[in-house]
Structure 1
Amino acid sequence: MTKAEVFEFFRRLAEDNPSPETELAFGNTYQLLVAVVLSAQSTDVGVNKATRELFKTVTTPAQMVALGEEGLKEHIKTIGLFNGKAKNVIALSEILVRDHGGDVPQDRDALTALPGVGRKTANVVMNCAFGAETFAVDTHIFRVGNRTGLAKGKSPLAVERQLEKKVPAPFRVGAHHWLILHGRYICKARTPECWRCPVADLCAFKPKTAAPKSKRA
């Protein structure tokens, strides 16, 4: 895409959804961090269901440590890989209490030093909690970036680097939300719904998917 096309791409997504947000439910920055760690290879819907009761009583790292690994497992046992995730959440909570005064750090290096926190998780927290211009490349963004021609790359990091170069200033904070939502609900993995896509004419994907017969009728 040209610079003008990239600008128009995000302008249309922004027009359709002026205030994009993560679909994970949380009440503070610590709960956001926990939710994102739990969301690895799980759906936001599934994580929200598991944390609904948990987050009513656990709002700080100290409270999570007091709950303990077994207590946490009881809340999140419906989530995939919950044993490893519970271990990581307790461990990162202990570190936050010990080394950060119970606060979630704002920089990527400190975040990725926490158990269970990779670059993508750190980018989500930095963006959603602190308004940083970061691009958390998940499977949706990786697919949309490559399929549309917006940001091609053979790895999530390569796509992230392309987005860092190409996304214009007015859209940098909201960009990863728009791309995730676009990939989740329109530019789907198996069958992209090109027939209702607001940026179809800017997209390099061919052939475009036609509307189902019921929709055409």
Structure 2
Amino acid sequence: MKNLLIACSLLLAVFATAQTSTKTNSAQVPMVLTTFDTIKLQAPDTLGGKPLMQAISRRKTDRSFDSRNLSLKHLSEILWVANGVNRAKGKRTVPSAMGLYPLQTYAVLANGIYLYNPLKQQLEPVIKGDFRNLAGTQNFVEVAPLNLLFIAKARNANDNFQSAIMDSGYCGQNVYLYCASEGLRTVVRASAKDAELLKVMNLGSNYKFILAQTVGY
């Protein structure tokens, strides 16, 4: 009986190690985008990552990036923490005054610009091509694999975008904490070549660029 218990314990340990290894490997495998189509994102691993206080203690800004692509796991979870749905009725991972959620989140990747659909947890293609140079004025935006754009659509002619500006801070901080937890680099920026971006994305004068955030290694 004792030997049987030992054998079962060893099997459980091997299984747990294999599961951990699988999770680790999925975070390390870079994405390879060969087509410009809808990207089905993974569900977030809500049991993963470092404890909150550790992540806060490691939160920092980086302005140096290399060109390694993110894994699908990291890309999926970055978008989810930024502006994803985490409970019923489409409620998000970030707060929003009066539940307006005025921000749209775009992902600028090497092969094109995508719009994040939080209800379906997917990236939807907007325009094909490498437009990372428009995501900011710093050289690193062209090197890093991901630039997030937080863009708002005016609710009416008198919209001053105050709610969107506040919401962008929540989104950015969530991404900062996730990057601290996962060993990624990030920097939030209030500047981009926004007029050119909006034109390329075919967004009219009722849209406003609010914030950008670069993420990578």
TM band (smaller chain): under 0.3
By percentage of residues, which structure has more helix? 1
TM (norm. structure 1) is 0.25
By percentage of residues, which structure has more strand? 2
TM (norm. structure 2) is 0.25
Structure of greater relative contact order (alpha carbons < 8 Å, 6+ residues apart):
2
